[in-house]
Structure 1
Amino acid sequence: MKKLISFIMLFCMIFIGGKTTDIYAASTDIQAAWITTVYNADWPKVQNNPQEQKQEMIKILDTLKETGINTVMFQARTQGDALYKSNINPWSSVLTGVQGKDPGYDPLQFVIQEAHKRGMKVHVWLNPYRVTTTGTDINQLSTNHQARKNPSWVLSYNGRLYFNPELPEVKKHIVDTVAEIVSNYNIDGIHFDDYFYPANYPLPTGEGRDGKVANERRNHITEMITQVRSKIKSIKPAVEFGVSPSGIWKNKSSDALGSSTNGNESYYSDYADTRMWVKNNMVDYIVPQIYWETGNTSADYETLVKWWSDVANGTNVDLYIGHGIYKDQVATQINTQLEINKKYSQVDGSSYYTTLDILNNRQDCRNKIKTFLENNKLIDTSGHWAESTINEFVTKGYIGGYEDNTFKPDNSITRAEFVKIVNRVFGFTEAGTEKFDDVQASHWFYYDICVGVKAGYINGKSENKFDPNAPITREEVASIITSIKNNKDVNIDKLLNFSDALSVSSWAKSSVEGAIENKYLGGYSDNTIKPKNKTTRAEALVILSRIGR
Structure 2
Amino acid sequence: RRNSVNQFIKRVYSSIKNEKPYVKFGLSPFGIWRPEHPSSIQGFDQYDVLYADAKLWLNEGWVDYFSPQLYWPINQVPQSFPVLLGWWNEQNHKNRYVWPGISIGRFEGEKQADEILNNIMITRGMNPNAPGIVHWSIGPLIGNDSLQTELTTKPYNKKAVVPALSWLQNSSPGIPDINYEFSENAVSITIENDEKELSNWIVYYKYDEKWSEKILSKKQKNFGLPYTVEVPAAEEDSLALPVVLFLKEVQVTYIDRFGIESDASVQILNK
What's the TM-score, normalizing by structure 1? 0.30
Contact 2:65 2:99 in 1 (8 A): yes
AA partner of residue 112 (structure 2): A
Aligned position for 1:284: 64
SS at match of 2:105: coil
What's the offset of the Cα at 1:277? 0.9
Q: Is 1:222 paired with 2:6?
A: yes
RMSD of the alignment, in Å?
3.1
Contact 1:241 1:283 in 2 (8 A): yes
What's the offset of the Cα at 1:336? 1.4
What's the offset of the Cα at 1:539? 7.1
Q: Is 1:321 paired with 2:67?
A: no
Higher helix share goes to which structure? Answer: 1
Q: Compared with structure 1, are the counterparts of its residues 288 and 398 closer, same or farther at alpha carbon in structure 2 (3 Å cutoff)?
A: closer
Q: Compared with structure 1, are the counterparts of its residues 310 and 372 closer, same or farther at alpha carbon in structure 2 (3 Å cutoff)?
A: farther
Once residues 268 and 368 of structure 1 are traced to their aligned partners in structure 2, the CA distance between those partners, rounded to angstroms, is 40
AA partner of residue 154 (structure 2): F
Once residues 341 and 334 of structure 1 are traced to their aligned partners in structure 2, the CA distance between those partners, rounded to angstroms, is 11
Q: Which string of whole-angstrom CA distances, capped at 9 and with x for unpartnered residues, describes residues 147-170 of structure 1? A: xxxxxxxxxxxxxxxxxxxxxxxx
Q: Is 1:306 paired with 2:86?
A: yes
What's the offset of the Cα at 1:310? 2.1
AA partner of residue 337 (structure 1): N
AA partner of residue 369 (structure 1): L
Q: Compared with structure 1, are the counterparts of its residues 543 and 240 closer, same or farther at alpha carbon in structure 2 (3 Å cutoff)?
A: closer
Q: Compared with structure 1, are the counterparts of its residues 234 and 258 closer, same or farther at alpha carbon in structure 2 (3 Å cutoff)?
A: same
Aligned position for 2:24: 240
Higher strand share goes to which structure? Answer: 2
Once residues 331 and 353 of structure 1 are traced to their aligned partners in structure 2, the CA distance between those partners, rounded to angstroms, is 13
Q: Which string of whole-angstrom CA distances, capped at 9 and with x for unpartnered residues, describes residues 166-209 of structure 1? A: xxxxxxxxxxxxxxxxxxxxxxxxxxxxxxxxxxxxxxxxxxxx
Structure 1 unaligned spans of 5+: 1-216, 378-390, 400-422, 430-450, 458-476, 483-537
Aligned position for 1:350: 133
Aligned pairs for 1:288-437 (under 5 A) are 288-312=68-92, 314-328=93-107, 331-332=112-113, 333-345=115-127, 347-361=130-144, 364-374=146-156, 377=158, 394-395=160-161, 397-398=162-163, 429=168
Q: Compared with structure 1, are the counterparts of its residues 361 and 540 closer, same or farther at alpha carbon in structure 2 (3 Å cutoff)?
A: closer
Once residues 259 and 545 of structure 1 are traced to their aligned partners in structure 2, the CA distance between those partners, rounded to angstroms, is 48
Aligned pairs for 1:521-532 (under 5 A) are none
Once residues 104 and 5 of structure 2 are traced to their aligned partners in structure 1, the CA distance between those partners, rounded to angstroms, is 28
Once residues 262 and 107 of structure 2 are traced to their aligned partners in structure 1, the CA distance between those partners, rounded to angstroms, is 47
Once residues 259 and 277 of structure 1 are traced to their aligned partners in structure 2, the CA distance between those partners, rounded to angstroms, is 21
What's the offset of the Cα at 1:373? 2.4
Aligned position for 2:269: none
Contact 2:124 2:132 in 1 (8 A): no
Once residues 540 and 310 of structure 1 are traced to their aligned partners in structure 2, the CA distance between those partners, rounded to angstroms, is 34
Question: Quick one: percent identity of the two aligned structures?
Answer: 26
Contact 2:72 2:80 in 1 (8 A): yes
Q: Compared with structure 1, are the counterparts of its residues 365 and 269 closer, same or farther at alpha carbon in structure 2 (3 Å cutoff)?
A: farther
What's the offset of the Cα at 1:347? 4.7
Once residues 31 and 91 of structure 2 are traced to their aligned partners in structure 1, the CA distance between those partners, rounded to angstroms, is 13
Larger Rg: 1
Once residues 246 and 321 of structure 1 are traced to their aligned partners in structure 2, the CA distance between those partners, rounded to angstroms, is 11
Once residues 259 and 225 of structure 1 are traced to their aligned partners in structure 2, the CA distance between those partners, rounded to angstroms, is 27
SS at match of 1:298: helix
Once residues 10 and 103 of structure 2 are traced to their aligned partners in structure 1, the CA distance between those partners, rounded to angstroms, is 28
Once residues 398 and 299 of structure 1 are traced to their aligned partners in structure 2, the CA distance between those partners, rounded to angstroms, is 28
SS at match of 1:248: coil
Q: Which string of whole-angstrom CA distances, capped at 9 and with x for unpartnered residues, describes residues 90-139 of structure 1? A: xxxxxxxxxxxxxxxxxxxxxxxxxxxxxxxxxxxxxxxxxxxxxxxxxx
Once residues 543 and 278 of structure 1 are traced to their aligned partners in structure 2, the CA distance between those partners, rounded to angstroms, is 29
Contact 1:259 1:304 in 2 (8 A): no
Once residues 300 and 294 of structure 1 are traced to their aligned partners in structure 2, the CA distance between those partners, rounded to angstroms, is 5
Q: Compared with structure 1, are the counterparts of its residues 220 and 342 closer, same or farther at alpha carbon in structure 2 (3 Å cutoff)?
A: same
Contact 2:5 2:52 in 1 (8 A): yes
Contact 1:250 1:259 in 2 (8 A): no
Q: Compared with structure 1, are the counterparts of its residues 398 and 242 closer, same or farther at alpha carbon in structure 2 (3 Å cutoff)?
A: closer
Once residues 286 and 299 of structure 1 are traced to their aligned partners in structure 2, the CA distance between those partners, rounded to angstroms, is 18
SS at match of 2:13: helix
Aligned position for 1:199: none
Q: Compared with structure 1, are the counterparts of its residues 341 and 367 closer, same or farther at alpha carbon in structure 2 (3 Å cutoff)?
A: same
What's the TM-score, normalizing by structure 2? 0.57
SS at match of 1:315: coil
Q: Which string of whole-angstrom CA distances, capped at 9 and with x for unpartnered residues, describes residues 252-275 of structure 1? A: 2xxxx5452111122122211111
Once residues 275 and 348 of structure 1 are traced to their aligned partners in structure 2, the CA distance between those partners, rounded to angstroms, is 20
Aligned position for 2:49: 269
Q: Is 1:251 paired with 2:35?
A: yes
Structure 2 unaligned spans of 5+: 176-250, 255-260, 266-271
SS at match of 1:373: coil
Q: Compared with structure 1, are the counterparts of its residues 259 and 249 closer, same or farther at alpha carbon in structure 2 (3 Å cutoff)?
A: farther
AA partner of residue 291 (structure 1): Y
What's the offset of the Cα at 1:372? 2.7
AA partner of residue 354 (structure 1): S
Contact 1:245 1:288 in 2 (8 A): yes
